[in-house]
Amino acid sequence: MRVFSPSPRPEPWVSRRKRVEHSWMLPFVKLERGWEWLAYFLSHWKFLEVLEYMSSLSILFAVLFYFSESGDRLKQKHYQAWQVINTAQGKGGSGGRIDALQELNADGVALIGVDVSTAYLQGVDLPRAALTRANFNAVDARNSNFRSADLTAADLRSGNFRDSNLQNARLVDADLSNADLNSADLAGADLTRANLDNADLRNSDLRNLRWQQIRSMKTTNLAGVKNAPDGFLQWALKQGAIQDASPSP
């Protein structure tokens, strides 16, 4: 808050006139002197002093009001993000869903049961996202980040997750049938009771994969997988998995 300081009384004209060296300067000096007297009288008017303090207080109240309303603004932001996601449900393309999902996740909002089936979400960044029972059926999420995300019981059928980061992702009871996980990073992922029938895991990184209770791996393509846990490939091939290195059609 600015401290109000009254202007000093202008010096007498006689002394001020003596300091004027040239007569052509007199009109300008008189004009300036007029403003000095006006400033002097106005600065001693208490009403203006009160207005000055009220102006400073109004700024303070505006700041306090802004912060007091921050919760409502955050709710409005989340509501708009959900509206974008729900309005585009079942449609192709992004429709603003990438930004909406990322904003909600960054704010710690659970995305449980979110339906983004058939959406274009290439490059979406959803680390540690709560995506239990989410519907990613036929989604295009290549080059995306789902590191440490909870995808328990999620529908990932026919989804494209090529080159995506699924490190330490929880995929318990998830349906990954026909999913494209070519070159994906599945290090530390939990595939307990997951369905991987006809999934493409070629060239994927399986370091520390939790695989012992995978539900089904019929015709799952494991060609070129990296860092496969001990015993995994032998077990998977017995369950019907294949190793076909031929290019995808």
* Domain shared by 155 and 104, yes or no: yes
The rounded percent of the chain whose pLDDT value lies above 70 is: 78
List, in sequence order, every residue forming a beta bridge with 125; answer none if it has no partner. 145
How many folded domains does the chain comprise? 2
* Domain shared by 57 and 146, yes or no: no
**Domain-located, residue 162:** yes
pLDDT at residue 49, rounded to an integer: 62
User: Is the CB of residue 183 less than 8 Å from the CB of residue 160?
Assistant: no
**Domain-located, residue 94:** yes
* Domain shared by 146 and 229, yes or no: yes
**Domain-located, residue 27:** yes
pLDDT at residue 52, rounded to an integer: 65
* Domain shared by 62 and 135, yes or no: no
* Domain shared by 164 and 45, yes or no: no
Band (pLDDT 50/70/90 cuts) for residue 27 is: confident
Q: Given a cut of 60, is residue 122 above it in pLDDT?
A: yes
The rounded distance, in Å, linking the Cα atoms of 45 and 232 is 88
**Domain-located, residue 135:** yes
pLDDT in tens, 133-167: 999 999 999 999 999 999 999 999 999 999 999 99
* Angle of the 46-68 helix axis to the 70-87 helix axis, nearest 10: 40
Helix (H), strand (E) at residue 34? helix 26-43
Q: Which residue has the higher pLDDT, 158 or 57?
A: 158
User: Is the CB of residue 134 less than 8 Å from the CB of residue 154?
Assistant: yes
The rounded distance, in Å, linking the Cα atoms of 62 and 198 is 60
Domain membership of residue 193 as a residue range:
90-244
* Domain shared by 161 and 61, yes or no: no
* Domain shared by 58 and 94, yes or no: no
The rounded distance, in Å, linking the Cα atoms of 74 and 126 is 19
Tokens linked to 75: 């709710």
**Domain-located, residue 190:** yes
> Residue 138 belongs to a domain with what CATH number?
2.160.20
* Domain shared by 95 and 48, yes or no: no
pLDDT in tens, 90-112: 777 788 999 999 999 999 999 99
* Domain shared by 51 and 151, yes or no: no
**Domain-located, residue 77:** no
User: Is the CB of residue 128 less than 8 Å from the CB of residue 107?
Assistant: no
pLDDT in tens, 209-227: 999 999 999 999 999 999 9
pTM for the model stands at 0.71
Band (pLDDT 50/70/90 cuts) for residue 1 is: very low
Tokens linked to 16: 């001020």
* Domain shared by 48 and 117, yes or no: no
The Cα angle at residue 110 between residues 136 and 89, in degrees rounded to 5: 40
**Domain-located, residue 194:** yes
N-term to C-term CA, the chain: 72
User: Is the CB of residue 198 less than 8 Å from the CB of residue 178?
Assistant: yes
Q: Given a cut of 90, is residue 32 above it in pLDDT?
A: no
**Domain-located, residue 113:** yes
